[in-house]
Structure 1
Amino acid sequence: MVPIALTIAGSDSGGGAGIQADLKTFSALGVYGASVITALTAQNTRAVTMVEPATPAMITAQIDAVFDDLDVRALKLGMLGGPEAIATVAQRVQGRGVPIVLDPVMVAKSGDRLLPPEALEALRQQLLPLAALVTPNLPEAADLLGTTQATSEAEMAEQGHALRAMGADAVLMKGGHGTGEICVDLLIEGGATTRLTARRHITRNTHGTGCTLSAAIAAGFAQGLPLGAAVARAHAYLQGAILAADDLRVGSGHGPVHHFHKVWAHD
């Protein structure tokens, strides 16, 4: 049977992030993707112009419909919106027996806020304890912890351990918002810390990187990969998608990464 992963996130009408990025990533990595849409967004590579949340009843119905019929092997949580949606998702996914990758989406690449500040506590209390892995970037980790953004690997590690103490099984601290020629991510699980590095590629076309990475990890879980292998493969896949992003030339703002860079190229 084909492995199945489920993404619960917002829709991106521009196609570069959210549900659309997740489904593209699942497909590129050989996983069947199912989806639960938590919000409709009107957005492109330049801005988010409108957000319309799904009702808790619709979110519940979508989750139940998928799990009632599909053999879901992994779950990715992305943009969830406000406290009501977070509470609904937490209540419906706990106890399902599948690993959960939590991408704490808070701000779009355009700078538009996607998670209201009042939803932060719900995210901390209700979703972090359910996560097999949480994948914050540096600003997201700081927001979750109520502190300043990490500026060194030591501070990244310290914040990663603090997030684990809040309930997540493991934390992937993403260093894309850092500085220097080498971008460093830290995978923190138990007493072990794994360092993943990549040369920093200067491009404006990074829309959907966080969604893509977390979805790629969930795809690995759905295929039975252990945490370290799933994260390492996802990291390599994202680097390839970023390196090929400029070839797409989609939009006039922050364009998307190239999810199918191993399948087709654009000249």
Structure 2
Amino acid sequence: MNLLPMHQFTTSDGATLEYFDEGEGQPLVFIAGYRASAQTWLPQAEYYKDRYRVIGMERRFNGNTVSPTYNKTMARQGEDLHDLIESLQLKNPIVVGHSMGGSTVMAYLSLFGDAQLGAFVNVDQTPKMVNDDDWQTGMYKLTTANMGTFFDAPLDSPFYKDVTPEVMAIMKAVAAETNDNTYTLEMTKPLLLDHAWADWRGILQTVTVPTLFMAADHSPFWPSAHATESAKLVKNGRAAILTDVGHGMEYEDPEQFQAVLDQFLETLKG
């Protein structure tokens, strides 16, 4: 399996982060979730590179990034996205964030607003993971009472069914060719907790760019209703529920994922 060639940029706090950059046209930026390499977007890069400039940002604490170990916050992840956009001088990028990648975009929005973005696609990430009296579409069983110990054990598998053979080959190649195995749960737990404590609902109410919330009907992490509830918060928000897939929808059924994304991308053309 040949992985995509990676390039490097330097963030405002001195980290060296990687990204792939394929094709030409309006930027379509993909950001993977917790413990997932940017390379897992390879099927989407191949699919979209004839129509878009497809960029995959390797978040810090993934892949071969050289990162300061003291910035384990979602705010820093949002700043990293800003640094990528500035470094590559991207104009009106459509940003697609899966899971923690979605939170990365929401962290960016909290710091910089949406003036530089063309659109936002949030892939199966609830804006508030902690459940309480006014929000019941957070992470299953996660409350303020058990937050301190909830992430002590590894998370459940994000998949409802097997990933495609292509994605499995990519995952094996990433494991063999990067130092990604150094970013253990113990090492990244502060970032995971910061991610879990966040409440992005207020930020979403300020977003004006077209925004799609994608959810999975068999996600092991949260109910699919988070997408419809989130879409209500955004001026130009909409929701799509993918069927017969889990949290890793783009790995399990890339054709369905791409079809839904294609429908949204068509609405942006004017």
Q: Which has the higher strand share?
A: 1
TM superposition score normalised by structure 2: 0.45
TM superposition score normalised by structure 1: 0.45
